[in-house]
Amino acid sequence: MSKMNNNIFGNLKQDLPAGLVVFLVAMPLCLGIALASGAPLFSGIIAGFIGGIVVSAISGSQLGVSGPAAGLAAVVLAAIAQLGSFEAFLLAGMIAGVIQLLFGIVRAGVIGYYFPTSVIKGMLAGIGLTIILKQIPHAFGYDKDPEGELDFFQRDGHNTFSEMWYMIGKIHWSAFLIAGISILILILWEQKFFKKRAIFTIVQGPLVVVVLGIGMNALFHYTPAFWLNEEHMVNIPVADSIGGFLSQFNMPDFSQWKNPQIYVIAFTIAVVASLETLLCVEATDKLDPQKRVTPTNRELIAQGSGNILSSFIGGLPITQVIVRSSANIQSGGRTRMSALFHGFLLLVSAMLIPNVLNMIPLASLAAILIVVGYKLAKPTTIKSIYKLGIGQFVPFMLTLLGIVFYDMLVGIGLGLAAAIIHLLWQNFKTPYHFDPSKYVAGETVRIELSEDVSFLNKGSILKTLDSMPEGAHVIIDGSKARTIHPDIHEIIEDFEIKAKNRDIVFEQTGFGPRGEGGVDAPENFVIHDASKT
């Protein structure tokens, strides 16, 4: 226990600055996602600090950051409209948290391990590209679309690309200047010349960018034509007293417990939130420089606990989120203390200094997010996936394009479908098939089954057996197989009948009870010419 604590507190030098950067990124996203969800703005802040404090304390993820998720905004918006009140929706959120707890207890977290790397990398690149496209208008001072809106089709009738067309006539050059200088600073901050100097490792570039943005807009205040008004700034609800602050919290409407719609919505939220969390966990683990592995079942329990508490006090649903998690990693975060620290900053700042935060230009935050997005969608990443072959590149690109042109779950679904189709095709098109044109009469054909023969091998085995010429001598050897799917046994039994009608001498060897075999073999099945051995 003491060793773990030393590890956590020994990295505060890296974790506290990283937590500050995550806080700066998270604050406008929490507000924007709440706005896009049709919920009170403060509900996004609640979800942010509960995700940072409660989920981080329970979770085993060292670098993952949790909070309100853009991927759930459309679900929340529709649910609030369907139930008729935000308080009724909060009850559904609490029940969703209980369902997530059950998912963790029954070990449903293993699902996250079945997503191919090409799909996970496509998700990261797709989200990175989406962030860049969505932040370009904010960098130019066109702030009609809220932060956190990542879907291609927007609530205002625009889409990701048309938004950039509409911004052309409404560019605010002060915002553009702030964003341009900020991006330049962030790029320079990453160069070796600056990294070698201690001051540049202690003071994070994003903090400098935010302070610069506040200072530049203060100077613009003396020239009204250049000044950025509240439309272009962070907009946190400001309470005039402790009572006013506490009044922003809401309780669920427990009288709605008999409403069946509550449970349908709760299950939908639990499934979508759990899936997004597991995908982000997998992606975050791949970005982790130390390659630590997050216990997924514990993560679901942490997320469920967070959602129960968040909904109980008026917050939005929570998931682990890749934008904040990647910002944490890129800012040098080492342990979960960075996420925990960002949660406390969200809570304390919303209580004590909302007016100061409302001085931050959205253009400054757009610069930070554009750099984060670029690091997720580097051209070198796409190039490296392309070199791995079409089997990796197609799922990667379908995931990327699906996320950019629709949303994350659609992109993941497209990429996963492509990966499965490729897997099925590879199992059907095995290189160890029988070539009738090369068969020499009198030779014995020996088929060795591999260690595990599943139903996915049906196509290739059927194709091979059907291509056997009349009069051949065929031996199927199952001595190296550990498990054989019943469908494969059925294929072999059918071929035994066909062999008699085709004058084929057929033998089976090494088979135990149905569904079992022997041990160790590297391929699905290998054909040998037994006459030459």
The 10s digit of each residue's pLDDT in 442-464 is 788 888 887 777 777 787 788 88
Helix (H, G, I), strand (E, B) or coil at 529: strand
What Cα–Cα distance (Å) separates residue 436 from each residue in 430, 496, 501?
A: 16, 19, 18
The whole-model pTM stands at 0.79
pLDDT higher than threshold 90 for residue 511: no
Tell me the torsion sign for CA atoms 338, 340, 346, 351.
negative
The predicted pLDDT at position 312 comes to 97
CB 339 within 8 A of CB 18: no
Q: What is the pLDDT of residues 413-434, one digit of tens each?
A: 999 999 988 877 776 665 445 6
Helix (H, G, I), strand (E, B) or coil at 453: strand
Alpha-carbon gap, residue 383 to 379, rounded angstroms: 6
Domains of the chain, start order: 11-403 (no CATH), 436-532 (3.30.750)
pLDDT higher than threshold 60 for residue 198: no
Q: What is the pLDDT of residues 277-326, one digit of tens each?
A: 999 999 999 899 988 989 999 999 999 999 999 999 999 999 999 999 99
Which residues are within 8 A (CB) of 523 and not within 5 positions of it... i.e. 6 or more apart? Answer: 430, 432, 450
Q: What is the pLDDT of residues 260-282, one digit of tens each?
A: 999 999 999 999 999 999 999 99
What Cα–Cα distance (Å) separates residue 115 from each residue in 123, 282, 356?
A: 11, 8, 43
Alpha-carbon gap, residue 236 to 241, rounded angstroms: 15
Q: Which residues pair with 13 in a beta bridge?
A: none
Alpha-carbon gap, residue 86 to 372, rounded angstroms: 33
What Cα–Cα distance (Å) separates residue 160 from each residue in 128, 155, 404?
A: 14, 11, 8
The predicted pLDDT at position 197 comes to 65
The predicted pLDDT at position 16 comes to 93
The predicted pLDDT at position 202 comes to 66
Q: Could you tell me the pLDDT band of residue 379, with boundaries at 50, 70 and 90?
A: very high
Helix (H) or strand (E) holding 444: strand 444-449
Which residues are within 8 A (CB) of 417 and not within 5 positions of it... i.e. 6 or more apart? Answer: 398
Q: What is the pLDDT of residues 46-55, one digit of tens each?
A: 999 999 999 9
The predicted pLDDT at position 153 comes to 85
Residue identified by tokens 């609030």 is: 80
CB 476 within 8 A of CB 508: yes
The predicted pLDDT at position 515 comes to 43
pLDDT higher than threshold 70 for residue 524: no
Q: Among 122, 118, 111, which residue's Cα sits nearest to residue 421?
A: 118
Q: What is the pLDDT of residues 235-269, one digit of tens each?
A: 888 888 888 888 999 999 999 999 999 999 999 99
The predicted pLDDT at position 316 comes to 96
Alpha-carbon gap, residue 269 to 76, rounded angstroms: 8
The predicted pLDDT at position 363 comes to 93
CB 103 within 8 A of CB 300: yes
Q: What is the pLDDT of residues 322-366, one digit of tens each?
A: 999 999 999 889 999 999 999 999 999 999 888 988 999 999 999
